[in-house]
Structure 1
Amino acid sequence: MGMEVIASGLKEMIAAMRLPQTQLPIFEGNSRREYWEFIRAFEQHIRMAAVPEEYKLQTLMQACAMPVRNTLQTCNYLDPREGYEKAMAILENRYGDRHQFVREIVEGILEGSLIKGEDEGGLKKFVNKLGSCILSLETIGRLQELNTVRSVDVLSRRLPERALMRYEDETYAHNKRYG
């Protein structure tokens, strides 16, 4: 064996030992949101690590629930690099449709009933859901899908009357100040 092969193997072993001992979420394959959250976590902890593709493939397989894992099983028979890339491609093709994901996020926040003035819990839930929606869209570079006149109008109409009045006052003052 050449010294380069040994050095490369040692680097991979050290990188694997340095990986954080965080638990990856299990990907069940239930929604696009779940897929994107899973992929984000996987990329942060495994995909970008300097470890062998075989390790990445095995970690990916272990982090998938059985129905999803079964669809990836044939990737184990390929060269580790090819198998890993094929498994990632299969997951993205089946669950990673960005356009559909954006549609689900935006429709999910726009649909909903009016929040009553005394429903503090409902307002907090709405704000949390809106924050999650914004963060998800920012992460994939598609915030503009929510930042439309129609979306802002629909969202503002769901607010309790006092909050809606305050929003309208602030909008008026902003438009007067900045045009």
Structure 2
Amino acid sequence: MNELQHLVEVLHLPKMELQVFDGNPLEYWRFLNSFDEIIGGISMSSAKRNAVAVMYWTCCQSGAVSRCYVMKPDEGYKRARENQKERFGNDLIVLQAWLSMIMQGPQIIPNDKIRLQILADIKNFLLLKAIGKKG
């Protein structure tokens, strides 16, 4: 495929919009993958990347991400991502969020396929963690 044809195909793709991360651990990895796909592929300075991160990580505008502004841009962005992972991508925090969603939600009935699937996902997550694999 030549470059012009590739460009035409890219222009016909639907516009990708990045959702704002509000601090829900259940959405952390999905958000991070989208952020990296959409923002990571754009050539920009580290300072701009920090500013974009603060815009989309609304749960942390006054916390871990903003404090990283006082560091050198490359170092600050790296530290902000580490802070986010510790706070929202930590396996225990994600598991607690899943369990909380199940425990505080409506009672699971035998034909409730969605809630039964969530329970199966939690069981698989725990099993993978028990044998030392990334889930």
In the superposition, the TM-score normalised over structure 1's length comes to 0.48
Cα contact 1:106–1:146 (8 A) shared by 2 = no
Q: Taking structure 1 as reference, are residues 86 and 114 closer, same or farther at Cα in structure 2, changes over 3 Å only?
A: closer
Q: Taking structure 1 as reference, are residues 144 and 87 closer, same or farther at Cα in structure 2, changes over 3 Å only?
A: closer
After TM superposition, the structure 1 = structure 2 runs for residues 73-152 of structure 1, keeping only pairs within 5 Å, are 73-105=66-98, 108-109=101-102, 113-115=107-109, 123=111, 126-131=112-117, 143-145=124-126
- Which residue of structure 2 aligns with residue 27 of structure 1? 21
Distance in 2, Cα, partners of 1:94 & 1:144: 19
- How many correspondences in the alignment? 113
- Which residue of structure 2 aligns with residue 158 of structure 1? none
List gaps (5 residues or longer) in structure 1. 1-17, 117-122, 148-179
The Cα of 1:132 is off from its aligned counterpart by 5.9
Give me the CA root mean square deviation. 3.5
Distance in 2, Cα, partners of 1:73 & 1:114: 41
Choose the corresponding residue for 1:59, options 43, 52, 55. 52
- Which residue of structure 1 aligns with residue 6 of structure 2? none
**1:129-164 residue CA offsets vs partner (Å, 9 max, x unmatched):** 4556767x6xxxx835269xxxxxxxxxxxxxxxxx
Distance in 1, Cα, partners of 2:21 & 2:125: 28
Cα contact 2:108–2:116 (8 A) shared by 1 = no
Choose the corresponding residue for 1:68, options 57, 60, 65. 60
The structure with more helix, counted as a fraction of residues: 1
The Cα of 1:55 is off from its aligned counterpart by 3.2
Distance in 2, Cα, partners of 1:70 & 1:57: 13
Cα contact 1:33–1:101 (8 A) shared by 2 = yes
Percentage of identical aligned residues:
19
Distance in 2, Cα, partners of 1:56 & 1:134: 37
In the superposition, the TM-score normalised over structure 2's length comes to 0.60
**1:18-67 residue CA offsets vs partner (Å, 9 max, x unmatched):** 9x9522111222x31132332232123223x25233332222111022x5
List gaps (5 residues or longer) in structure 2. 1-10, 129-135
- Which residue of structure 1 aligns with residue 39 of structure 2? 46
Higher RCO, Cα 8 Å, sep 6+: 2
Distance in 1, Cα, partners of 2:119 & 2:50: 30
